[in-house]
Structure 1
């Protein structure tokens, strides 16, 4: 039975929709040869549709070996979808793409339907990020070596002076050197925390918060983190984030402070809140700037490090007022961490 006018109209409409989606679309037969590609697919690879139709995909994707391709292609189950990142090579021009391939059976015959997206821009950004990380590593080396060495020399001479000279100025020099050491340590941390997250695990929010609290001088302050749930993170870096926020709560109040860590509703992330003086709404946009500090003895890097760690995980930060009128930092972790 031939196609009815309605069938032909539907086929034309389907073809028009496939051409209009703006995504590269291809159909392969059960041997892995192109049966159809739309204009967007050919454009991404910088070629024309006719040069692809009928050839095996292994001729376009160098990582596919023809002698092993049949086993790979036949391993698809009906309805199965696979995601991959490959390089497609046409006429000597290589294009990095993301592919999504699905097996479907039509009229008893197996076909694979694939889409591709050009990831050249993403690859360029990844390269830029890699170069940025290398520069940060170099900067960290300079901080660690070129600044710490003369600081160590100055500290050594100061210790000699302290045994021979009893003057108030000696204490001032010691205080200045201690501040320099703090600045160097914070700069070094800031440089390192800007790197993308590489190793993540399911971290108990309550456990890591309790470990972080043990590392700070809590004075008479109280702490609560008795919540269930985990977050996918680099454990060491999330502990650094929490320690910085706990210190921030304690150092910005003259009295004891109560700090709480808990999950956000709908498992979107977690929050840290306190009952301190809070952060004025007009200041909330500025507090993560390394040049901003309300403490004349502070470096301003503590919260900058927090935002670097959150950004490296792909988390967003919201600063608001806690129920007790203090500060509340919310971290939404629904997005995947940046991997490298």
Structure 2
């Protein structure tokens, strides 16, 4: 049988060189000031695997027992380093945890650090009865495990089972873009764990040499393939699902020193820069207001117009660590700005219309009314009464039109308003004749005072004008409180069935001389507040306004 043992040191050196090359690449990447989460922990994995493989190769080549014992320290350094690096990398990948913070790194490194320290202060607790063991034509060290080594092995197995569980869980939860990465890492993590168990059971070749460091080099290659094939470190934090990737809002994660460590595609599109990760926010084309206490906005000039982007910045806080960065959300508000501009233009036109109605129509109407009054004093002509009635109707139409125009242009200014006081004030502004107001409303509603009064005025005017055939005699109008609003009711003749369905439509009236604007104004006022108004079947007419904030 051919003795393959002499090939073992060369394979270990080749593995060490492979891991060292990967480590060199990561060092160069880090030196380019691109702080990618996961890079430092994977660097520790690569360096530790290289050191472990180098130590095994040197021990196999060393002829003396003392030299082998001294060189085995290199192997122990790599082994304990891997016990920290691999779980740190998996934590950063699956949980986006910065494993190099003291509260994370401390627990991870406690047992491995104690194990390495035991080499120098309590070697018998680690390995005793150390002796040479032949491996073909070569020799290596072997011995009886001490309690510290047993604790270390159990610790590494428990931690490795935990890392595989985290990777498996993340594989199930990950989106299609992330799952190939996770699958590659799951295989990469399972390989050395399987070989380590096989070595412990004595079923691997070259016993008692542990082939785990060699397999960890294979793991490093698998991770490196994931790095290029599946863009492992370009999806940062590595553990995120496709949610952030698919957001239409841009998202940036900024380190405390102002460097961007993460950006989704939407952020790149809004900022017009593909390679955002690693850049400083001060170097961006636009000021995102990272230090501004309030939301800011910047504009992007494009071929098809101007794009407006609103920026919201919030602190990222880690328990026990305070502020550890900033989360920047970029929201395209171009359509919103265009709607606001259109609304502003519409309001300006309505203001102009109201001005025309108020000035250009009222003035000649006032002159007409004056001459009619003068002629009525001089002549008892019934035709003059018809002209006076026509002028009065024109005045009513103008007043209602102005009310509608103001509803479109005036913003709400809400506060707590006494419903009783608002009803009394509104009643005094309406020609009510002999009608009576009864208010049973000892409560306040959250509303715009002026708009609430307008609503009540129009309800009262509707009751007085349409509720009683004789103009209000013996008519009682009542105002009361509901659990989620209020009502205005009268004991008049009620609303004809023919107009019930269209009662709140513009121009609908039971009076041929009515404008049909009053109840349309009531509904528009209610809708502007987020309320509903409904005609309820009752003796007379009862209008219930609901969805109102009421307090006693």
Q: TM-score, normalised by structure 2?
A: 0.50
Residues 82-161 of structure 1: matches in 2 within 5 Å?
84=295, 86-87=297-298, 89=300, 95-106=307-318, 108=321, 110-161=324-375
Aligned match of 1:25 in 248, 251, 272? 251
CA 1:143–1:14: 2 relative to 1, 3 Å: same
Residue 403 of structure 2: aligned partner: 189
Residue 307 of structure 1: aligned partner: 523
Residue 222 of structure 2: aligned partner: none
Q: Give, in whole Å, the separation in 2 of the partners of 1:258 and 1:163.
A: 37
Residues 244-283 of structure 1: matches in 2 within 5 Å?
244-254=458-468, 256-265=475-484, 269-279=485-495, 283=499
Deviation for aligned residue 1:133: 0.8
Of Structure 1 and Structure 2, which has the larger fraction of its residues in strand? 1
Q: Which has the higher contact order (CA 8 A, sep 6+)?
A: 1
Residue 435 of structure 2: aligned partner: 220
Aligned partners of 2:523 and 2:533 also within 8 Å: no
CA 1:51–1:24: 2 relative to 1, 3 Å: closer
Residue 385 of structure 2: aligned partner: 171
CA 1:291–1:226: 2 relative to 1, 3 Å: closer
Aligned partners of 1:249 and 1:259 also within 8 Å: no
- Higher-Rg member (1/2): 2
Q: Give, in whole Å, the separation in 1 of the partners of 2:480 and 2:296.
A: 39
Deviation for aligned residue 1:294: 1.3
Q: Give, in whole Å, the separation in 2 of the partners of 1:116 and 1:273.
A: 51
Runs of 4+ in 1 over 6 A off after TM superposition: 90-93
Question: Unpaired runs of 5+ in structure 1?
Answer: 74-81, 335-340
Deviation for aligned residue 1:26: 2.2
Q: Give, in whole Å, the separation in 1 of the partners of 2:329 and 2:496.
A: 49
CA 1:279–1:329: 2 relative to 1, 3 Å: farther
Deviation for aligned residue 1:280: 6.4
Aligned residues: 314
Q: Give, in whole Å, the separation in 1 of the partners of 2:360 and 2:314.
A: 56
CA 1:123–1:224: 2 relative to 1, 3 Å: same
Q: Give, in whole Å, the separation in 2 of the partners of 1:135 and 1:278.
A: 38
More divergent stretch after superposition (134-143 vs 8-17): 8-17
Aligned partners of 2:489 and 2:540 also within 8 Å: no
Aligned partners of 1:25 and 1:115 also within 8 Å: yes
Task: Give 3-state SS (helix, strand or coil) of 2:390's partner.
Answer: helix
Task: Give 3-state SS (helix, strand or coil) of 1:240's partner.
Answer: helix
Q: Give, in whole Å, the separation in 2 of the partners of 1:275 and 1:53.
A: 75
Of Structure 1 and Structure 2, which has the larger fraction of its residues in helix? 2
Aligned match of 1:42 in 233, 252, 268? 268
Residue 79 of structure 1: aligned partner: none
Aligned partners of 1:155 and 1:177 also within 8 Å: yes
Task: Give 3-state SS (helix, strand or coil) of 2:467's partner.
Answer: coil
Aligned match of 1:297 in 513, 517, 520? 513
CA 1:296–1:101: 2 relative to 1, 3 Å: same
Residue deviations 1:241-275, cap 9 Å, x none?
A: 1111122123221251342232443xxx4443444
Question: Unpaired runs of 5+ in structure 2?
Answer: 1-83, 91-162, 179-238, 469-473
